[in-house]
Each structure stands twice: as C-alpha cells, then as structure tokens.
Amino acid sequence: MLPIRKMFRVYMLLKDHLPEIGKEDTVDMLDFVGTIIDSMNRVGKSADFTTVVIEMSGKELSEIQNMPVEKVIGLFVSNLIENKVFEFRMFVNQIDLV
C-alpha cells in the first residue's frame, strides 16, 4: 500500500473523477473505470490515467504501454482496492484539507 505523500499525489489526480459509490452498491468494473476515464477525457486530462496507474503500481511507462488494455484496467482497479482509495477520500473529507 502507498505511503501518505504518494497517496495524496494519486488522490489529487483522481478526486474529481471518482464516482460516488454507496457501501451496498454493486459496481460493474468496466462501467466504473469507464466513468473515470470519460471524466478525465472531458477535462483534457487523459494522461492522468496512465500517471495514476504508474504511481500506484510502481511499473514503468514502457511496461504499461506494452500491456493489453484489459490488463491495465485490471491493474488500475486492483490498485484502487489495494490502496483503499475510497477510504482515503473519506479521510480527506474528514480532515477538510482538499
């Protein structure tokens, strides 16, 4: 799991694109990632997706570029879960920092 400074860096890139999900909601992963990517594209920040995957997974850009799309999406989702991004959003909202 990421240390706090890296987590803030990742969160700052993601915060405006993360959909709201209730605790009881079931989520279709493709829809979920699609929502994030669409949102990033809309504001002209599509490169942020790759940056987030690199920051969270610790992989090189060339490595990501050579991976099949499904694998990149899988990596993105598994890292969101592993790094507890939604819990981090709750924490940031509690401390009212950003």
Contact call for residue 68 and another protein (CB under 8 A):
no
The region of 38-46, 60-68, 72-80, 85-93 touching another protein under the rule CB under 8 A is: 85-93
| Residues 46, 37 contacting (CB under 8 angstroms) | yes
| 3, 22, 44, 68: which one binds another protein (CB under 8 A) | 3
Go through the chain and tell me how many residues it has. 98
Contact call for residue 8 and another protein (CB under 8 A):
yes
* Amino acid present at 36: I
How many residues bind another protein (CB under 8 A)? The answer is 16
Please give the torsion angle defined by the CA atoms of residues 31, 35, 36 and 39, in that order, rounded to the nearest 10 degrees.
160
Contact call for residue 97 and another protein (CB under 8 A):
yes
Residues 6+ apart with CB under 8 A from 1: 82, 83, 84
Q: Which stretches of the chain bind another protein, using CB under 8 A?
A: 1-5, 7-8, 12, 83-84, 87-88, 91, 95, 97-98
